[in-house]
Structure 1
Amino acid sequence: MTADDFTLSEHDLAVLCRTFRDDTELDHWLPGGDQYRRRAYQCFHLAMGRLAEDGPGALTAIGQPPPYVQSKQINPVAGDIERSFQLIPPDHPATDPTKRIATAVALLLEANGVLSAARTPHCLVDAHYMRLIAPGHPAPEGKHRDGLIAGSAHLIQRTNIGGGVSAIYDRYQPDRELRSFVLENPLDSYVFDDERVLHYTTTITVTDPAVGAGLRDVLLIGFRERE
């Protein structure tokens, strides 16, 4: 997916850029006290039966979401831990553009049979606002799944960095690379069926230290069944 697949304006992108800059905080869950990642979090309820008619109206922001938990098998770095992150409140300016991004992804997943009103009538949609400061590791877990139904990654900003090559692998043949690419322009995105594939992104490095910090801001969206 590219910017043409989303109904976002330059103002919407500016709002998202400010959110990554001003509203993320240091990720305290990285191993060894690493400090290259900042993040914030938002969670929505998605009523799949309303998606086609209501679009973003089918998503409702949850003001106080439960802690975010992944199993140790899925996430060997921070699995089996009830993690909480800096919250983006429902009335934040970033909520609307984030809902529209999630809606476009949900419609694509529905069209491809990954989500459906019959099988997944109610989903939780996680939005992770992830800022990486080079040098840093977008995927310290290595090749991995997220323990979701499906997910997506959306570039918001890429500044003064090299690396950051993303790749998708066959879940059952992890050495079989299906595709690799670099998210380069705002809203360059990829969507994946988490049941079928693994994903990974290589380390980012600073291109020119004289220019300033190297940054990679990515909005990660995850769809999981609501218990």
Structure 2
Amino acid sequence: MLIDRSTPGGLRADYFAQHGWAHGRLRLPAEGHDWKQFAASWDELVPDAYLGQERCRRNRRFGRVLAHRDGTLEPLHGTEFFQSKEINRAFGDQLRVFEPLTETVLASNHFPRILRETVDLVNEVAGKQDWELGIHFIRVFADADRGSEPAPEGRHSDGHAYVAIHLIDRHQCVGGRNQVFRNNESQAQYSVTMTEPLETLILSDTAMEHDVSEIRPDELSESGWRDTMIVDFNTVPDPAGVAGRTHSSLQ
């Protein structure tokens, strides 16, 4: 198993194509007023109403974007999200409807830039095509009396073609180590604790499984959190048939 202990470099499409996963950092700045405004969007997430008794406390919002092969990013109406029980042991076979991404997010400079760089990387590996993107903004909390599981379903795949996990921020917490497994293999291919904004783990969701360890407050704090932006890639046979078309574009 590879364990990353170095400063992440750029994401490499050739490595991604060969191994089914890649780890690195997006080539975008994570500083300045625009970045601070974008990262502050995680303060506006709302409690996940579907957690029940799961060992996790998290806030989230969800959005959908149609990434056209010509580079246009079309926001879509509708925030329904469904996974089968075979895919998601914890939350499968129920239609989850999340609060949408805010207008501030859709109008931000960083949101489309993150999506475009991620789409470009996937298109280098899969070939240029249309994608329906599911975009999850998630904040997982860790409290003094217990840790929190960012992925209560455990080791899993998500039922998509590709998945990208972008770290946005960590605040007064430890843990949150991502592991990547090849399907049906017990030994992890890779393990990393992402610490830098826009550090990214991207994987083929059909070839790989992944999990992430619990987070806990650091020794000087009573609470902490970990913010991520997760992008699901779903193939689109015909863009005209995608639900929620707005025929608009992100700038």
1:133 to 134, 141, 144: 141
Three-state SS of the structure 1 residue aligned to 2:149 is coil
2:230 is the counterpart of 1:216: no
* TM superposition outliers: structure 1 runs of 4+ over 2 Å: 1-4, 6-13, 89-96, 210-213
Which residue of the partner structure matches residue 92 of structure 2? 79
Name the TM-score, length of structure 2 as normaliser.
0.77
Which residue of the partner structure matches residue 123 of structure 1? 131
Which residue of the partner structure matches residue 156 of structure 1? 168
Q: Distance in 1 between matches of 2:102 and 2:216?
A: 32
- AA of the residue aligned to 1:17: A
2:65 is the counterpart of 1:65: no
Q: Is the 8 A contact 1:125 1:222 kept in 2?
A: yes
1:91–1:4 Cα change, 3 Å: closer
Cα distance, 1:12 vs structure 2 = 3.2
Cα distance, 1:212 vs structure 2 = 4.7
- AA of the residue aligned to 1:196: A
CA offsets, 1:132-185, max 9 Å, x none?
101211111111001011011111111111111101000132x12110001101
RMSD after superposition:
2.0
Cα distance, 1:84 vs structure 2 = 0.9
1:148–1:154 Cα change, 3 Å: same
Q: Is the 8 A contact 2:180 2:210 kept in 1?
A: yes
Q: After the TM superposition, which residues 1-227 of structure 1 pair with which residues of structure 2 at under 5 Å, given as runs? A: 1=11, 2-3=24-25, 5-6=27-28, 9-21=31-43, 23-32=44-53, 36-48=57-69, 50-51=70-71, 58-62=72-76, 64-90=77-103, 92=105, 95-112=108-125, 114=126, 116-117=127-128, 121-134=129-142, 135-173=147-185, 175-208=186-219, 211-226=221-236
Q: Distance in 2 between matches of 1:212 and 1:193?
A: 36
Q: Distance in 2 between matches of 1:89 and 1:66?
A: 12
Q: Is the 8 A contact 1:15 1:94 kept in 2?
A: no
Three-state SS of the structure 2 residue aligned to 1:127 is strand
User: Which segments of 5 or more consecutive residues in structure 1 lack a partner in the other structure?
Assistant: 52-57
Identity over aligned pairs, percent: 22
User: Which segments of 5 or more consecutive residues in structure 2 lack a partner in the other structure?
Assistant: 1-10, 12-23, 237-241, 243-251
1:68–1:93 Cα change, 3 Å: closer
Q: Is the 8 A contact 2:61 2:137 kept in 1?
A: yes
